[in-house]
Amino acid sequence: MKFFTHVAFIGISSLIAANVFAQNAENSPENNGQFHVEAYHLQPGEEFVLDGKMTEPFWRAITPITNFTQQEPIEGGEPTERTEIFIAYDASNLYIAAILYDSNPDGILAFQKRRNQGLGTDDRFMMIIDTFNDGRNAYFFETNPVAIRGDGLLTVGQGINLNKAWDGIWDARTTITEEGWIAEFIIPFRSLDFDPEVAAWGINFQRTIRRQNEEIMWAGWRRNQGLFRPQNAGTLTGLSGISQGIGLEFTPYVATSGNRRWLQDGTAENNGTLDAGFDASYSITPSVRASLTVNTDFAETEVDQRRVNLTRFPLFFPEQRSFFLEGASIFSFAPASGVNPFFSRRIGLVDGSQIPVNGGLRVMGREGDTNFGLYQIRTGNYDDINREDFTAARITQNLFSESNVGLIYTRRATLDDDFFNDRHTFGVDVEFGTSRFLGNKNLQFQTFFVWHNTFTDDETSEFWDRTSRGIRINFPNFPFYGWMSYREFGNAFNPAVGFTPRNGFRRWQPTIGYRRVASNSDLIRSWNVQAYFEYLMNLDFEPETVNLTLTPIDILFESGERIQISLNRSFERLYSDFDILRDATAIVPAGDYYSWRFRAQAATASFRPVSATAQYTIEGFWTGRRNIYELSGTVRPYPGINLSIDLNRSDVSLPNTDFATNLIRFRGNVDLTPNTALTNIIQFDDLSEVLGLYSRYRWTVTPGSDLFLVLSYNWVQFDNRFEPIEAQGALKFNYTHRF
CA within 13 Å, CB half, 354: 16
Q: Is the pLDDT of residue 22 over 50?
A: no
> What pLDDT is stored for residue 303 in this prediction?
82
pLDDT, residue 181, reads 98
> Is 703 a domain residue?
no
- To 5 degrees, how large is the angle CA 390–CA 395–CA 397? 175
Query: How many Å apart are CA 356 and CA 400, to the nearest integer?
Result: 43
Question: SS in 3 state form for 72-119?
Answer: ECCCCCCCCCCEEEEEEECCCEEEEEEEEECCCHHHCCCCCCCCCCCC
Whether pLDDT at 299 is above 90: no
Mean pLDDT, rounded, for 468-477: 96
428 Rama sector, left if φ>0, alpha if ψ -120 to 50, beta otherwise: beta
Residue 490 lies in a domain: no
Query: What percent of the chain shows pLDDT beyond 90?
Result: 78
Predicted local distance difference test score (pLDDT) of residue 718 = 86
pLDDT tens-place string over residues 483-492: 999 999 999 9
Neighbours of 261 (CB within 10 A): 15
**What is d(CA 49, CA 367) in angstroms, rounded to the nearest whole number?**
35
pLDDT higher than threshold 80 for residue 727: yes
Res 17: pLDDT: 46
Smallest Cα–Cα separation from 54: which of 181, 216, 191, 159? 181
How much of the chain, in percent, has pLDDT values that exceed 70?
A: 95
pLDDT at 75: 94
pTM of the model: 0.89
Q: Is residue 255 part of a domain?
A: no
Q: State residue 30's pLDDT score.
A: 43
- Centre a 10 Å sphere on the Cβ of residue 557 and count the other Cβ atoms it contains: 17
Distances (CA, A) of 410 to 33, 292, 340: 45, 19, 11
Calculate the average pLDDT of the chain. 92
One-letter amino acid of 578: F
Q: Is 120 inside a domain boundary?
A: yes
Q: Is residue 104 part of a domain?
A: yes
Expressed as residue numbers, the domain containing 212 is 32-237
Q: What is the pLDDT of residues 204-258, one digit of tens each?
A: 999 999 999 999 999 999 999 999 999 999 999 999 999 998 989 999 999 999 9
| Residues β-bridged to residue 251 | 279
Q: What average pLDDT score do residues 656-682 get?
A: 95
Of 8-17, 68-77, 334-343, which range is least confident?
A: 8-17
Structural domain count of the chain: 1
Helix, strand, coil: what percent of the chain each, to 5?
Answer: 5, 55, 40
Provide the 10 A C-beta neighbour count for residue 501: 12
Q: Is residue 457 part of a domain?
A: no
Residues 376 and 311: beta-carbon distance below 8 Å = no
| pLDDT tens, position by position, 708-720 | 999 999 999 988 8
- Is residue 507 within 8 Å of 534, Cβ to Cβ? yes
Asked if residues 286 and 196 have their Cβ atoms less than 8 Å apart, the reply is yes
Residue 704 resides in a domain: no
Would you put residue 38 in left (φ > 0), alpha (ψ -120 to 50) or beta?
beta
Sorting pLDDT into bands at 50, 70 and 90, what band is 370?
Answer: very high
Give 104's contacts (C-beta < 8 A, 6+ positions apart).
none
Judged against a pLDDT cut of 60, whether residue 26 lies above it is answered with no
Helical (H) or strand (E) element with 450 = strand 441-452
Q: How many CB atoms lie within 10 A of CB 396?
A: 23
Query: Could you tell me which residue, 354 or 278, shows the higher pLDDT?
Result: 278
- At 418, the pLDDT band (50, 70, 90 cuts) reads confident
Taking only the tens place, the pLDDT of each residue in 28-85 is 434 446 899 999 999 999 999 999 999 999 999 999 999 999 999 999 999 999 999 9
How much is the pLDDT for 14?
A: 47
Higher pLDDT, 349 or 99: 99
Q: Determine the pLDDT at residue 160.
A: 75
CA distance 612 to 595: 30
Tell whether the model's pLDDT for residue 137 goes beyond 70.
Answer: yes
Res 28: pLDDT:
40
Question: Would you give the DSSP letter of residue 244?
Answer: -
- Scored b (16 or more CB within 10 A) or e, 302-337 reads ebeebebeeeeeeeeeebbbebbbbbbbbbbbbbbb
Residue 25 scores a pLDDT above 50:
no
pLDDT tens, residue by residue, 485-522: 999 999 999 999 999 999 999 999 999 999 999 878 88
C-alpha 201/C-alpha 128 separation (Å) is 10
CA distances (Å), origin 326, targets 65, 261, 551, 642: 32, 33, 36, 27
| Contact predicate 151/169, CB 8 Å | no
Residues 735 and 252: their CA atoms lie apart, in Å, by 6
Q: Can you give the pLDDT at residue 468?
A: 98
| Per-residue model confidence as pLDDT tens digits over 605-650 | 999 999 999 999 999 999 999 999 999 999 999 999 999 999 999 9
8-state DSSP, 5: H
Asked if the structure places residue 64 within a domain, the reply is: yes
pLDDT tens per residue across span 142-172: 999 999 999 999 988 777 788 887 889 999 9
- What pLDDT was estimated at residue 33? 63
Nearest to 226 by CA among 96, 110, 69, 399: 69
**Of 156, 640, 65, nearest to 396 (Cα)?**
156
CA-nearest of 23, 19, 65, 75 to 40 is: 65
Closest to 291 (Cα-Cα) out of 277, 302, 306: 277
pLDDT tens column, 545-604: 999 999 999 999 999 999 999 999 999 999 999 999 988 899 999 999 999 999 999 999
Q: List the CATH number of the domain containing 121.
A: 2.60.40.1190
Taking only the tens place, the pLDDT of each residue in 528-556 is 999 999 999 999 999 999 999 999 999 99
C-alpha torsion sign, points 649, 595, 553, 483: positive
